[in-house]
Chain A
């Protein structure tokens, strides 16, 4: 009789834990998805060509092209090494402003990151 009660207690605890975990998962998924902070380099273009982010955001450029590219800020705020296919470069924008950039191998490729307070 005692072991049957213990089983019920464990079962109830397990169900309660499951419900808690499920509720937590729902709460997490209900939070707003983080805004896009990634810029894809493909077919000789930066996508999106213009990205607006809050101060402190880390933006990551990923080269999905078959050609090597670079990410170079016009005002020399940041500069990547040559990025081969699937290589990435990240930069954290700690000050507000507009940061135009280009690929130094293919200067016609341009983009812009707008950093807001």
Chain B
């Protein structure tokens, strides 16, 4: 049964697109909302961030499951190790960004801290690097 469900560990490759797209969209909306002082777009950014943070859970789970089952948890190195480390860092950054937004919305003033913007930029960079390495591993991106 396990081999049927996790056969070819395609779940990770499919699911990974959701947090990437949702986080990038959320950051774009948040930057626009900051610039245009648009609360509607800020809410859209918040919802995208919420979904991005939520979808990191199945993505991380399937990625770790692929490591555990397909590679039997053997010690990773090179591109695989980099992908794993950056993937965890991406998930943490997405969740922390969401938490910052969540906390600000619950505060009496509802003001978002400015430091979130460079943090989101770093998040975009790390997500892009992780996705690039994932693309190389899956054969979508060609090296060289």
A interface residues (Cβ-Cβ under 8 A, vs B): 44, 66-68, 70, 79, 81-82, 84, 104-108
B124 smallest CB distance to A (angstroms): 25
A110 smallest CB distance to B (angstroms): 11
Whether B71 lies near A70 (C-beta < 8 A) is yes
Chain A residues contacting B143 (CB-CB under 8 Å) are: 66-67
Whether B8 lies near A68 (C-beta < 8 A) is no
A42 smallest CB distance to B (angstroms): 12
Q: Is B139 an interface residue (CB 8 A)?
A: yes
Chain A residues contacting B137 (CB-CB under 8 Å) are: 67-68, 105
Chain B residues contacting A105 (CB-CB under 8 Å) are: 70-71, 80, 137
Q: How far is the CA of A82 from the CA of B8 in the complex (A)?
A: 16
Whether B77 lies near A67 (C-beta < 8 A) is no
Give the interface centre of A66, A105, A106, A108 by most chain B CB atoms within 10 Å. Answer: A105
How many B residues touch the partner, as a band?
10 to 19
Q: How far is the CA of A101 from the CA of B14 in the complex (A)?
A: 24
Smallest CB gap from A44: residue in B: B139
Whether A67 lies near B139 (C-beta < 8 A) is yes
Q: Is B144 an interface residue (CB 8 A)?
A: yes
Chain A residues contacting B8 (CB-CB under 8 Å) are: 107-108
Smallest CB gap from A79: residue in B: B72
Q: Is B79 an interface residue (CB 8 A)?
A: yes
Chain B residues contacting A106 (CB-CB under 8 Å) are: 138-139
Q: Is B76 an interface residue (CB 8 A)?
A: yes
Chain A residues contacting B7 (CB-CB under 8 Å) are: 107
Smallest CB gap from B143: residue in A: A66
Q: How far is the CA of A86 from the CA of B111 in the complex (A)?
A: 54
Whether B76 lies near A82 (C-beta < 8 A) is yes
Q: How far is the CA of A50 from the CA of B139 in the complex (A)?
A: 22
Given A67-B136, A67-B137, A68-B137: A104 and B80 interface contact (C-beta under 8 Å): no
